[in-house]
Each structure stands twice: as structure tokens, then as C-alpha cells.
Chain A
Amino acid sequence: MAQTALNPKGVSPSADWKKWLGVTPFFLFAILFLILPSLRLFIGSFTTEDGQFSLVNIIQLFEEKAILDAYWLSIRISAATALGGGLFGFLLAYSVTVGGLPKPLRSALITFSGVASNFAGVPLAFAFIATLGRTGFITTLIKNLFGVNLYQQTDFDLYSFAGLSLTYMYFQFPLMVLIMAPALDGLKREWREAAENLGASNFQYWMRVAFPVLLPSILGTMILLFGNAFGAYATAYALTGGRLGIITIQIGAQIRGDVHHNPGLGYAMAMGMVVVMTISLIGYSWLQKRSERWLR
């Protein structure tokens, strides 16, 4: 063994398969706890209860209005928080990189973003209830300052689309900051100087040079944010107690007890999610490759 390592070219072809033994535990693990469970759901969504191949579950998926609504609600929330979080995160990343804010603010923001993007689930939901719930801090503040009761005089409700989106934003925009700050650092000073020397205004520089370079990375990260929100379960469940019927909560209900009286439909719902996530991951990696052309 020792000698083959020193002289890798000396390995005979018959020893080729032996090299793969080294990664067997990893593949075994992946098959047992990742591939097999996914495959089970995949197969389940194409079979009836007595094990016959059928497209019934998939067809029912598109016929059941409650399920389509759940997907649509999930997609809207994910898109809204991806756009909002993406835009806000970009502006924040911009302000600490090229925006000319003092250096210490930058490291403070990056550290905080690292924490906030990991602060999710039940504690996050409770934090937002303490902030924007019926007796929350800001709710009370607005009532005392402006005499407006958010819950009686406006349409606002923390346990709704807007409330859940605001809560998701707490882990969405920090993720954007974490990815965009290095990308903005990648903008080369020479590009700016070249634009300036050619007589471009700041606005022109951003619209014609910087923005097109950054665009793939901005869009890619937004897609990442979309997937991030789309797969979220714990935060929504803790916040709304299952009242807001996004798709993850519907699937959760299906796991707890067969609410649709068709286990196959549950598998199909799960597969639908995987399909959406796959599309977004492919989009992300494609855009990531494009952005690497300019930014390294």
C-alpha cells in the first residue's frame, strides 16, 4: 500500500475497483438514509395502494384544489421573501462593501448575518410573536405612538401571508448578505476606473458594467432563497400552528395521519416539492457557473 501511494501510476488496472472501496461507507450511508427514502416516496407516488403502477396520484395532485392552493401559497411566499430578502440583502451587502461604510460595520454585519441565517424554527417564531404579535413590542409601540391598533384597524396579521413572509425574511436577507458581500468585493476597481475614464456616470457604470456582472449571482442567490423558504416547515408550524396551509404543513399533516385518505397522494405531494426544489437548484448552479466567468 505504502508504495502504491508513492507511485500512483504503478497501480495495476485490477486494483482500480479497490480504490472505490474507500468511499463505500459514504455511498452506503447515502443510499440507506438519503437515496432509499427518496426512492420510496418516488415509487410510492407512482403506485396504487396495492402496488400497481399508476398515474392516479399525480393526476389527483393536480385535481385537488386544496393541494394546488398549498403549492401556490408556498410558491408565493417563497418568491416574495426571495425577492424582498434578495433586494434588501443586496442593498445591505452593497452598503458595507462599495457603499463606503466604516470597516467594523462590515464585520459586524457579516457576523450577525451568519447568526441570523441560522436562527430559525421555533425560537424565531416566538421572537416574532413577541415583536409583532397581538401584544408584541412593535404592535404596542405603534398603538402608543400613533394610536393605531394593527390588528383591529389594519389588515395586518402575523399569522398570515404577510406575517410569515416578514418572519422568513429574518433568515432570508442575511443569507443574501453572506453570498453577495464577497461577490461585490469581486468587482474590480479597474472596471470602475475604465468606465470613469470613458466618461460614464456612476449610474451608467452600475447599469452597464457592475450590474450585468453581478446579475447571475444575484438571481442565483435569489433562487437559493426561494428554495430555502419553500422547504421551511418548523418556522411556519411554530408561528401559525398549522393554520396557514403551505405545502410543507400539508405534507406534515399527511405524515401525522392520512388526511387525504390516500397515502399515494402524500408521496406525490412530497415528490412535487422535490421537483420544485430540483428545478431551483439546477437554476442556481447554472447561474453560479455563469457568475464565475467574471467573479472569482
Chain B
Amino acid sequence: MASEKIRKVVEMSGISFGVRVGKQGNRKSWSLSRLGTRFWSWFWFILGALYFLLPLYATANFSLRMERDVIGFKAYIRAFEDPEFLKTFLYSNVLALLTIVASIILIVPTAYWIRLRLPEARRIVEFITLLPFVVPAIILVFGLIRIYSSPIKIPFTDTTLFQPLTTFEVGTDILIVAGYMVLGLPYMYRSVDTGMRTVDVRTLTEAAQSLGASWFTIIVRVILPNIRAALLSGALLTFAIVVGEVTLASFLGVPAFGPYLFLLGQHRAYEPAALSFASFLLTWVAMGLIQLFTGGQGQAAGAH
């Protein structure tokens, strides 16, 4: 115990690790190499910081120079005043919200049921949640268009169940929300599953059942509040994927923010820079909130 304490004190003073045996010369080389390590650490860190910050600085700087020789927010005002911006941005936010709600409704009961009753389904469900990594957005939308641009028939008959989803607005909206749910599936499922690991689902369920709660009540009033941090992190990650998404939105032809920004970039210079910087800030807010609610377990998504 005492030696443990001494080691801790020595370590806190930041001298060196090798206080026990070690030859004299050897110890010297270690602390020397630690000095070198610190130099290189700073070097790489500063390089990384520059890589992070320079493009942001350049974008912000550029976006503020719409008027010659004046630093001002004109590009931002112009960009935000465009009614088309407001429309597409709102639309993308609604899509994100729908995707999040639908994902929660689909995934929470599934993950709950697997944890409680059906552990044998875990492998196959986890496998499915990994599939979106194998099927990139461009391939997914390709397949979705090919399947849902023709009428949906009951197999082996000529009875039409649905008109092609891509031919009417609500149909396309359903399709794109489903597509976004697929893109967000790995992150949402993992978030929810990790969240459930930390609460004792079985005991909570038994307690709720003995008080006469229905399945619906258990999930909505017992399970959901207990995994709200995980839900929030999954939701924000999904939000970050959906709001600026381009691939699905442009191929399905919906009036979303991503395609709008892309088109704006074709014939304007300053407004797109302003919106790019603004969407960076938005991503920042979403990720910052995740950090805040999950205590630093950053996650990474992939809708590139």
C-alpha cells in the first residue's frame, strides 16, 4: 500500500515512471525520450489543430467579405432571407424529426425485447444494423428507386398494393425517411443498446409488471426515461446525418437543404460559404450536446 502511494505521488509530480529498479543510464534515456515525446506531441497537436481550424477560418473569413473592403454579415442576411432556404431547411428538419421518432419507435421495442426475451435474435439483428456500412447511401438509393419506382404488387399475382412510391409526394417522403432510418440504424441501435446495458431492464420490467403496467406503459414510462441520454445521443447523431444529407435527397428529388445548398454553390459564392459555416456550427451544437449528455463518449457517423 505504502509503495503504491509513493508511486502515485511520484507520478503526479510527472517525473518518470521508472522509479523502482532500472539502471541509471536507462532511466535517463527514458526521461530524455519523454521530453522528445512532448515536443512531438505538441507538434502533431498543433498540426491537427491547424487542419481543423484553417478551413473553418477560411470559410468564415470568406463569408464575411461579400461587400468589398467591409467585414459584414451581408452574405448571412442574404442567405437567410432567401425563402427557398427557409423552406428547404424546415423541410430537412421535419425529415430529421420524423426519422428520429420513427427510429425510436422501431428500435427501442426491438432492442428491449431482445434484451428481455429474445437474446437468440441478438446476432442477426446486430448483423442487420451493420449492413448500412456495407451498402453506402448511393447504393441504397439506387436500390430503393429500382424497387419503389414501379407499382408494388402482391407476389405472384397482378393485384397492385401501392402505386409507385416515387410518383407522389407522401410516397417519396416515406421512402426518404425510411432511407434515413437505414443510414442512422447503426448509430441509433448502438446508442439504444448501450443505454439499455446500463439499466437493469429485467428488474424494471418485473417491478412495472407487478404494479400492473401494460407493455406500452413499460416502454414509454419506464424504459424510455431510463435511456434518455442514449436516445438523445442517437437522435442528435441522426439529426447531424439527415439535415445536410445530399445523396438520397437529390436522387429522390425532394426539396431538402442539402441539394439546395449544392445548387446555390453552383451560381453563388458568398451565401454558400455562409451557410456552410452555419451548418458547421449546427453540427458543433449537435455534437456538443451529445458530449454533454453522454459524458464525453464521442461517436462518429458516416454520411459522406
CA distance in complex: A113, B288 (Å): 11
Instruction: Determine the residue in chain A with the shortest Cβ distance to B175.
Output: A33
Whole-angstrom distance between the Cβ of B164 and the nearest chain A Cβ: 14
**How far apart are A264's CB and chain B's nearest CB, in angstroms?**
12
- Complex contact B55–A120 (CB within 8 A): no
Known: A36-B147, A107-B296, A228-B304. A199 touches B22 (CB 8 A): yes
B229 in contact (CB, < 8 A)? no
Chain B residues in 8 Å Cβ range of A232: 136, 304
Docked pose: A169 CA to B48 CA in angstroms: 11
Q: For chain B, residues 234 to 285, give those with C-beta under 8 angstroms from any C-beta of chain A.
A: 237, 240-241, 244-247, 251, 258, 261-262, 265, 272-273, 275-277, 279-280, 283-284
A95-B41, A101-B42 given as contacts; is B62 within 8 A of A255 (CB)? no
Residue of A nearest to B11 (CB): A189
| Stretch with Cβ within 8 A of B (4 or more), from A49-57, A61-69, A130-138, A148-156 | A130-138
A residues less than 8 Å from B261 (CB atoms): 122-123, 126
- Shortest CB distance A6–B (Å): 6
Asked if B287 and A115 make an inter-chain contact with CB atoms under 8 angstroms apart, the answer reads yes
**Which of B79-87, B93-101, B110-118 participates in binding chain A?**
B110-118
Return the contact of A23 from the options B125, B138, B142 (Cβ within 8 A). B125
- When the two chains form the complex, which single residue of A123, A173, A193, A252 contacts B48, counting CB atoms closer than 8 Å? A173
The reply to whether B59 and A127 contact each other, CB–CB distance below 8 Å, is yes
Residue interface mask B33-46, A partner, CB < 8 A = 1: 11001101110110
Provide the residues of chain A in CB contact with B110, threshold 8 Å: 22-23, 25-26
Cβ-defined partner of A238 (8 Å) among B33, B206, B245, B265? B265
Contact of B181 among A29, A117, A127, A136 (CB under 8 A): A29
Name B275's closest neighbour in chain A (CB-CB): A123
Tell me, in angstroms, the Cα distance from A63 to B179 when the chains sit together: 33
Q: Is the CB of A127 within 8 A of B56?
A: yes
Query: Taking the complex as formed, is B134 at the interface, i.e. its CB lies under 8 A from any CB of chain A?
Result: yes
Interface stretch, picked from B13-21, B66-74, B220-228, is B13-21
When distances are taken between beta carbons in the complex, the residues of chain A under 8 Å from B42 are: 95, 101
Instruction: For the complex formed, measure the closest distance between the CB of B34 and the CB atoms of chain A, giving whole angstroms.
Output: 7
| B142 partner, pick from A105, A177, A266, A281, beta carbons under 8 A | A266
Distance in Å: Cβ of A1 to nearest Cβ of chain B: 8
Q: Does B77 make an interface contact (CB < 8 A)? A: no
For residue A140, give the distance in angstroms from its CB to the closest CB of chain B.
9
Q: Is A20 an interface residue (CB 8 A)?
A: yes
Contact B139 A273 (CB under 8 A): yes
Is A290 close to B, CB under 8 A?
no
CB-defined interface of A164-185 with B at 8 Å, one 1/0 digit per residue? Answer: 0000111101110111000000
Look across to chain A and name the residue whose beta carbon is closest to the beta carbon of B48: A92
B147 CB to closest chain A CB (Å) equals 5
Beta-carbon contact of B118 and A20 below 8 Å: yes
Please measure, in the bound complex, the distance between the C-alpha atom of A231 and the C-alpha atom of B303, giving whole angstroms: 9
Q: Write the chain A residue with the least CB distance to B133.
A: A281
Instruction: Say yes or no: is A196 at the interface (Cβ < 8 Å to chain B).
Output: yes
**Known contacts A26-B125, A120-B303; 18 further A-B pairs (Cβ under 8 A):** A23-B110, A109-B45, A111-B287, A118-B301, A120-B304, A123-B261, A123-B277, A126-B276, A127-B277, A136-B58, A170-B51, A173-B51, A197-B18, A201-B30, A238-B246, A255-B138, A270-B142, A281-B133
Instruction: Give 29 A-B contacts (CB < 8 Å), ordered by A residue.
Output: A5-B116, A22-B113, A26-B107, A26-B125, A33-B181, A33-B182, A34-B128, A37-B142, A37-B146, A88-B44, A99-B41, A105-B45, A114-B287, A120-B303, A120-B304, A123-B244, A123-B280, A124-B55, A127-B280, A137-B58, A173-B51, A174-B300, A196-B30, A197-B21, A201-B33, A202-B34, A233-B137, A234-B304, A248-B136
